[in-house]
Amino acid sequence: MPTSHNIISPERLTALAPGLPWAVAIAIVGYAFIAGGYLVTVMSFALIYAVFVIGLNLFMGYAGQVTFGHNAFAALGGYGSAVLTSAYGWPPLGAFAAGLALALAVALVVGYPTLRLKGHYLAMATLAIGLIVYEIAVQWQAVTGGYMGISGIPPIGIGGFDILSDRAQLIFLALVVALSTWSAMRLRASRFGRALAAIAGSEDAARALGIDVARYKLMAFLVSAAYAALAGTLFVHVVGFVSPEVFGLHMVVLAFTMLYVGGIGTAAGPLIGAVIVSLLPETFRALKDYQDLAYGAGLILLLIFAPKGLAALGDLLPRSKKS
Amino acid sequence: MTLLKLERVTRRFGGLLAVDAVDLEVAAGSVTAVIGPNGAGKTTLFHMISGFQTPNDGRILLDGHDITGLPPEKIAAHGLIRTFQLVQLFRDLTAVENVKVGCHLQTQGGVLTALIRPKSARQSETQVEATARELLDFVGLAAYGDLPAGTLTYGRQRLLEIARALAARPKLLLLDEPAAGLNAQETELLAATIRRIVARGTTVLLIEHDVTLVMSIADRVAVLDFGMKIAEGTPRSVRDDPAVIAAYLGTAEAARA
């Protein structure tokens, strides 16, 4: 294949490739910050979802497991924060800690028995917990406000300093995503992360090497539930409102889309997936009646041409060079 | 000294006696082979020793500890590490990462250690990296460390699986048909590798179809047929045993039919 007319050599492209998804995501968020307006809101949602998807990626990408109910942990974190800050006047950080503890306790109760089983039991159990938490949010009106939800949730603030403007929130969320990504990468590049990757590769081989598979699956489940709870808390504070629909099953569908479009099992996948999938409907809004069609077609094209996700696109470069 | 001792180990599947009251002793520092025709119960026996199946009856002692019916990860922690008949590598991980996973039992640390990454963890990671590279070199795969394990040839995958098992510093290494699918040259390399493993002080127990390999490396051979041990001894004595010949080639009547 003639490549001589390319200004940038393929070798340099290959070397730069791993940084590309990060650069694109940062550029889009940076542009939103400068442009302001509605795009800031879209990107704020994208970043909140990125935190959720980072957790999902840990459990599904690194450890190779399946969960359909992580929206439950986002709901527990979100409602915990919403109720404690708005009705009881707790500071956001304390309310977050309480919501996180609640989410982890529920994850432990659900995960302990089911993660010992092989196959689809966990997937079914997680689906059930997602639906149960949704029903509780609807029915327990005295605390959750039922379908009407809870409004007037205060913004995020630490020690009397509130983060009020849209732009300040975007920066704060970007910092949280950076921290979440960093922590997930540290987890992956460790003995713990290797054990998860081993379980994803072959449970039998992992056990034969002394890895307590049930225990590590449970730990991965708890850690990913913690990211989900954090995302739930961020959501209610940024929007100032929560209702059961916010953490409905569509949250799972959207997060799965982001995970697979971005690249499951990759470090940059959750962020680039969340940013791109959030932008797609906005990009096609001008098409009016056809926007859903265009959105669907866009997703299909992405999965055909980047089956391992956008974050893995860079890996294709050296291979296409050889072929 | 006896490292592994099986006492009347039995496993039934419904009405079928897959393994019937098998006694076996593996001496420390030796290479012991279990051979037998297809369906003789070799694999079931291995699954019971390594904890993947529970015996219906009998006892398994490793270095004096009763490991009967323990789960695989507990048995591994007692120092018994196995490989698989169909290679079970972590295919998406690089070769060196595969071996690093093998260091799991030799290291410590969970979620908090991963996040905080204290000095001890960094030192441990450096050590793990060095050990993994050294073991890859030991099995002759130093040049392939950074390739995904799934892209290696089958023969190299087998060697990689052995390197990964060695990373756990086993007292007893169980090899499940290590020569299956290898050509003559690869089998020769495997035999040499197994000899060097024993020289390092690791005891080896293997199941094998490849009689040439068994004859060249085993100190003792046990022969299974229809779940029962029909012969045991040195490779030479077993080879000339009429019961073994009958099991492998069939009885005179069966041969004529």
Locate B194 and state its tokens: 């197994």
Identify the band that residue B37 occupies on the pLDDT scale cut at 50, 70 and 90: confident
- Model's pTM, two decimal places? 0.90
CB of B86 less than 8 A from some CB of A = no
Q: For the ranges A70-74, A216-220, A310-314, which has the lowest average pLDDT?
A: A310-314
Chain A CB within 8 Å of residue B148 CB? no
* Average pLDDT over all residues of chain A: 86
Query: What is the percentage of chain B residues whose pLDDT exceeds 90?
Result: 73
Burial of A20 (0-12, 13-18, 19+ CB in 10 A): middle
Task: Report the first-to-last Cα separation within chain B, whole angstroms.
Answer: 46
In one letter, which amino acid is A271? L
Is the pLDDT score of A12 beyond 80?
no
Rounded Cα distance between B125 and A75, Å, is 37
Residue type, A80: G
Highest mean pLDDT out of A82-86, B142-146, B235-239 = B142-146
User: Which one of A189, A195, A208 has the shortest CB-CB distance to B76?
Assistant: A208
User: Measured between CB atoms, which of A198, A204, A223 is closest to B101?
Assistant: A198
Provide mean pLDDT across the span B146-162: 94
- pLDDT at position A11 is 67
Q: Of A29-38, A150-159, B127-136, which range is least confident?
A: A150-159
Q: Is B100 in Cβ contact with A194 (below 8 Å)?
A: yes
CA distances to A173, A230, A269, B146, B210 from A185, rounded to whole Å, are 18, 17, 12, 19, 45
Q: Is residue A304 over pLDDT 80?
A: yes
User: Taking chain A, what is the end-to-end CA distance rounded to the nearest angstrom?
Assistant: 8
pLDDT digits (tens, 9 = 90+) for A196-251: 999 999 999 999 999 999 999 999 999 999 999 999 999 999 988 899 988 988 89
Half-sphere CA count of B109, side-chain side, radius 13 A: 27
Residues of chain A above pLDDT 90, percent: 46
Does residue A189 have a pLDDT over 50? yes
Residue A3 pLDDT > 50: no
- Most confident stretch, A121-130, A141-150, B100-109: B100-109
Closest CA to A26 of A226, A181, A164: A181
Residue A236, both tokens:
């209610």
Q: How far apart are CA A166 and CA A45, in angstroms?
A: 11
Task: Name the residue type at position B239.
Answer: R
User: Cβ–Cβ of B101/A195 closer than 8 Å?
Assistant: yes
A191/B165 touch (CB, cutoff 8 Å), yes or no: no
Sole residue written with tokens 């089956």: A307
Tell if the CB–CB gap between B165 and A209 is shorter than 8 Å.
yes
Looking at residue A323, what is its pLDDT? Answer: 33
Whether A318 has a pLDDT exceeding 60, the answer reads: no
Looking up tokens 């296409």 gives: A320
CA B80/CA B88 separation, integer angstroms: 17
Q: Which of A85-94, A254-263, A287-296, A308-317 has the lowest mean pLDDT?
A: A308-317
Residues in chain A: 323
Q: How far is A179 from chain B (nearest CA, A)?
A: 11
Query: For B156-202, what is each residue's pLDDT tens digit?
Result: 999 999 999 999 999 999 999 999 888 889 999 999 999 999 999 99
- CB of A11 within 8 Å of a chain B CB? The answer is no
Please check the confidence at residue B248 and state whether its pLDDT lies above 80: no
pLDDT tops 70 at residue A72: yes
Kindly list the residues from chain B whose CB atom is less than 8 angstroms away from the CB atom of residue A208. Answer: 50, 72, 76, 81-84, 88, 165
AA identity, residue B150? G
* Phi, psi values for residue B181, rounded to 5°: 80, 5
Q: Are B111 and A186 inside 8 Å of each other by CB?
A: no
Q: Bigger pLDDT: A318 or A57?
A: A57
| ∠ CA B222-B227-B233, rounded to 5° | 15
Cβ–Cβ gap B81/A219 under 8 Å: no
| Other beta carbons less than 10 A from residue B73's beta carbon | 20
Tell me what pLDDT residue B245 has: 82
Give strand ranges (E) for A4-123: none
Burial pattern B162-180, b for ≥16 Cβ within 10 A else e, equals bbbbbbbbbbbbbbbbbbb
Nearest CA in chain A to B101: A194
Q: Are A120 and A67 in contact (CB under 8 A)?
A: no
Query: Torsions phi, psi of B23, nearest 5?
Result: -105, 140
How far apart CA A251 and CA B24 sit, in angstroms, is: 57
pLDDT of residue B180: 87
Q: Is residue B81 very low, low, confident or very high in pLDDT (cuts 50, 70, 90)? A: very high
Confidence of residue B251 (pLDDT cuts 50, 70, 90): low
Identity of the residue in A193, A209, A210 whose CB atom sits nearest the CB atom of B114: A193
Q: Is A209 exposed, middle or buried (0-12, 13-18, 19+ CB in 10 A)?
A: buried
Q: Does B168 touch chain A (CB under 8 A)?
A: yes
pLDDT over threshold 90, residue B151: yes
Any B CB within 8 A of A197 CB: yes
Averaged over B48-63, what is the pLDDT? 95
pLDDT in tens, A114-141: 887 766 787 888 888 889 999 999 889 8
Which residues in B lie closer than 8 A to residue A212 (C-beta atoms)? 73
Residue of B71, B57, B42, B70 lying closest to B174 (CA atoms) = B42
Rounded Cα–Cα distance for residues A151 and A141 (Å): 14
Residues 6+ apart with CB under 8 A from B105: A209, A210, B76, B77, B168, B169
Give A7's pLDDT tier (boundaries 50, 70, 90): low
In this model, does residue A322 exceed pLDDT 50?
Answer: no
Size of interface A-B (CB pairs under 8 A): 104
Among B248, B238, B235, which residue's Cα sits nearest to residue B39? B248
Q: Does position B92 have pLDDT exceeding 80, yes or no?
A: yes
User: Angle at which helices A213-239 and A191-201 pack, to 10 degrees?
Assistant: 110
SS (H, E, C) chain B: CEEEEEEEEEEEECCEEEEEEEEEEEECCCEEEEECCCCCCHHHHHHHHCCCCCCCEEEEEECCEECCCCCHHHHHHCCEEECCCCCCCCCCCEHHHHHHHHHHHHCCCCHHHHHHCCHHHHHHHHHHHHHHHHHHHHCCCHHHCCCEHHHCCHHHHHHHHHHHHHHCCCCEEEEECCCCCCCHHHHHHHHHHHHHHHHCCCEEEEECCCHHHHHHHCCEEEEEECCEEEEEECHHHHHCCHHHHHHHHCCHHHHHC
pLDDT at site B211: 81
- In chain B the domains, ranked by start, together with CATH numbers, are 1-79+170-257 (3.40.50.300), 89-169 (no CATH)
Q: What is the Cα–Cα distance from B13 to B17, expressed in whole angstroms? A: 6
Cβ A68 vs Cβ A130: under 8 Å:
yes
Kindly state the tokens that stand for B208.
């094998």
